[in-house]
Structure 1
């Protein structure tokens, strides 16, 4: 049957209206931005522990769905919010590893348009099975009801301050005085967070200016005894794995780092578990501190990145492939079988970090 010109014209108009409406619907849905064929390239600085996450092909693909290409460069969390040499490169966003960095960024003159914690991971201590066996004999390490290892960090710090040997702590396979190593607190967040935890443990509560005056020297001694301190959490973790029991007997890191390493190659983890060599072990300090990962939006175009990172898809990828907990510190997906039982469902002993003024004064003391 022939179609009249009027009917044909009405059909074209209807199709045009539907197409325009569809375009507007897609345009206004951030998760469909990539369907329009235009991607925004965002440059920013990130903590090294998130490098593998943003390089993950599944994560890259999900970000493309939001119309985003991310040009991220690794920098220490403290550096990225304080160093003008980095801030002068006009990043669209900063993604440090502690919520206190938002306050420090403001004090550094950063014009923040938006900020939100998008990931969480507790600060932990990585060591090796022979160390755990010895510390369990002396009561510094215990096993929780759910099978994780818990560290009495204050008792360990007291032993380090006293110059106690590894052998007196039950670890006969190691020579010399007991030590624990973190990253440089003036450059990297895991060292920064550990410094706040150390000071608060000596003070017996969340450290204040009075606590810094009274116990700052003790914290300074702990860090001085570490020797060289890596500028990056990722580099320190790599040194730990490469150095083994003798090279790095005990380091400070993030919970997600071992998880990410296991999930990247589960067969490698099974080989490690079945071998006769010293095995990596994660210890949960009691109490610990949470490393919250806030996205700091400097250019409003990075608001779309915040939408993407808090989406269910990217939150699930962050947990199931990289071990990052969600904004509330809980799991955001089903854990891989390779890490079943490795992580506690919740961290029940968390100490807040001292406020920004105390932490900045502590950094100055540790740098002296």
Structure 2
């Protein structure tokens, strides 16, 4: 009996030693280390993704804790006062920003696209009914709405009234609104897309001499322009078709809004006034590259491109992955007909030199 007790006691002692040794090993491993705190600037359209508890937990599991400060994509690669804050990373919403950042002597160590979202035009179901009757919008076989943006831009330049476009309930001349292209990426991307469409191809310096004045006119007629894509989208939803009949934004913004409150969407989905995404043909893709500026941020690119965070980005926020395809999870269900599986009618953005010249004209 005493032998059994002695053996039992030795067993407990051995287990305790093993447990202590295991803890000591784990204590020095990444599993028990505090997440590495990184500070950087991100576009407002990604603030919901980064605030998501699932995102924060997945980042912590990968060893990171982010303090993400909101800034416009153009602003974060051009404003000296932001650079002076010594960010570890930048996360703008256009690949052109990588080139502009390097031109501005920002020390980019690594850059890689993490998320994608095509540029769309947001309108309202009653406005789209008129645009369809006027031949400017059409429903594709899979159910999403295609938009002849080039023809609409020419209507703006011709000072057509909404009534001329079969939308008599709206007052005044046809218009759409975007963000300030010198601060925010959605406005920046739209400026490049407008220049492309008016030039008939990817805009060059020579083409900009020809169509730059028309792009200026389109932006001048917008009136006030927000410096945040997120703020503009919130204003669009709050104001309704009378205040904001058409705005420029990212595809993921409406998906994220719907996924946040399915019951709210169910209440308005069958109504006359509901938000609708229009896909310009062609459009441009807003790629979201993460720029690592310091060694400690290099691994953040790999973490964000991992399957866990990519799944959260699609399932909760509607961001497509680096290749531009929809995620695998069937989170859209009743939304699937609003959102095409792929967006193949894509124009490249003009190069950085042309875009900077265009920004100077729009300043």
Q: Give the Å deviation of 1:9.
A: 12
CA contact (8 A) 1:128 1:280 kept: yes
Alignment of 1:104-143 (within 5 A): 104-143=100-139
Q: How many residue pairs get matched?
A: 356
Q: Which residue of 2 aligns with 1:325?
A: 320
| Separation in 1, partners of 2:266, 2:85 | 44
Q: Which residue of 2 aligns with 1:30?
A: none
CA contact (8 A) 1:98 1:293 kept: yes
Q: Give the Å deviation of 1:273.
A: 1.3
Q: Which residue of 2 aligns with 1:246?
A: 242
Q: Give the Å deviation of 1:42.
A: 0.8
Q: Which residue of 1 aligns with 2:329?
A: 334
Q: Give the Å deviation of 1:167.
A: 0.3
**Which runs of no fewer than 5 residues in structure 2 stay unpaired?**
none
Q: Give the Å deviation of 1:13.
A: 9.7
Alignment of 1:54-93 (within 5 A): 54-93=50-89
Q: Give the Å deviation of 1:12.
A: 9.8
1:344 paired to 2:340: yes
Q: Which deviations, in whole Å up to 9, do the C-alpha atoms of 1:244-296 show, x marking residues without a partner?
A: 01000000000000000000000000001134x51111000000000000000
Q: Which residue of 1 aligns with 2:280?
A: 285
TM-score by length of 1: 0.92
Q: Give the Å deviation of 1:166.
A: 0.3
Q: Give the Å deviation of 1:338.
A: 4.6
Q: Give the Å deviation of 1:330.
A: 0.9
| Separation in 2, partners of 1:309, 1:68 | 10
Q: Which residue of 2 aligns with 1:190?
A: 186
| Separation in 1, partners of 2:294, 2:17 | 39
Q: Give the Å deviation of 1:179.
A: 0.3
RMSD, matched Cα: 2.1
1:177 paired to 2:166: no
Q: Give the Å deviation of 1:18.
A: 7.1
Q: Give the Å deviation of 1:92.
A: 0.4
Q: Give the Å deviation of 1:363.
A: 0.2
Q: Give the Å deviation of 1:8.
A: 12
**Which runs of no fewer than 5 residues in structure 1 stay unpaired?**
28-32
- The residue matched to 2:216 in structure 1 has which SS? helix
Q: Give the Å deviation of 1:190.
A: 0.3
- Answer with 316-325 or 10-19: which moved more: 10-19
Q: Give the Å deviation of 1:68.
A: 1.5
CA contact (8 A) 1:263 1:338 kept: no
CA contact (8 A) 1:262 1:338 kept: no
Q: Which residue of 2 aligns with 1:268?
A: 264
CA contact (8 A) 1:157 1:222 kept: yes
TM-score by length of 2: 0.93
1:101 paired to 2:97: yes
| Separation in 2, partners of 1:69, 1:365 | 40
Which of 232, 242, 263 is the aligned partner of 1:236?
232
